[in-house]
Structure 1
Amino acid sequence: MTPFRSLAAALALTTGLLSLPAQANPSGDPLYNADAPPAYAMIGDLLIARPLLIAGTVIGTGVFIVSLPFTLLGGNVGDAGQALVVEPAKAAFVRCLGCTESGYKRD
């Protein structure tokens, strides 16, 4: 192999390898974000935030059931269910451990 071909092959390989990190997450989807939360955030989330969010989901479900006759008359059952049950449940069960926002946002 000539020195020119060796140099061209090395440059092509190097250029190809350098472009890989830029293509790792082309969609920008936070679900595939490589930045992991620190360990203390995961521990705090597991021991403090998740039990409070699960309790909030249970309490929100109870409040939703109690307020159901009034929300039926007002015509906003979906909004009340979303705010009192769905959003706390998403934060408790769908969000990754230690994350501040839910990474599962598919429409």
Structure 2
Amino acid sequence: MNLFRCTALVLALTTVSLALPAQAGQAVEENSSGDPMYTVEAPPAYAMIGDLVIARPLLIAATVIGAAAFVVALPFTAASGGIGDSGKALVVDPGKAAFVRCLGCTTTGYNHAD
């Protein structure tokens, strides 16, 4: 290739590669309505596979271990009046992340006042 064609090719590839992040940002902005309740996540396939193979089994194990820790700590939390807080932190939050979240998403599927 001569010098002109090489320069034109490098210039074209640079222009295209610099325009790609701008197009990706526009796609994200078009999908979000501004209201977090109606924002839909569209996770990529690798995030779904990683969530299925790694994150979900760990979250289920954390829910089971948290339930056991909650039962062990129940007499102490009952004395201090923090049963609801400890149950939410040890059992409900990991369980919600394991069973309510869509595959590959980072937020739960609903927005209720906790």
What is the TM-score of this pair, normalised by structure 2?
A: 0.66
Deviation of the 1:103 alpha carbon: 2.8
Q: Which residue among 75, 82, 90 is the counterpart of 2:88?
A: 82
| Structure 1: gaps (5+ residues) | 1-21
Match for residue 46 of structure 1?
52
What is the TM-score of this pair, normalised by structure 1?
A: 0.70
Deviation of the 1:28 alpha carbon: 2.7
Q: Which residue among 30, 36, 43 is the counterpart of 1:37?
A: 43
* Aligned-residue CA RMSD (Å): 2.0
Identity %, equivalent residues: 61
- For each residue in 1:72-92, what CA deviation from the matched residue of structure 2 results, as whole angstroms up to 9, or x when unmatched? 111100000000000000000
Distance 2:96 2:38 in 1: 14
Supply the AA of the counterpart residue of 2:63. T
Supply the AA of the counterpart residue of 1:28. D
| 4+ runs deviating over 2 angstroms | 24-32
Deviation of the 1:27 alpha carbon: 7.7
Supply the AA of the counterpart residue of 2:58. L
Match for residue 28 of structure 1?
35
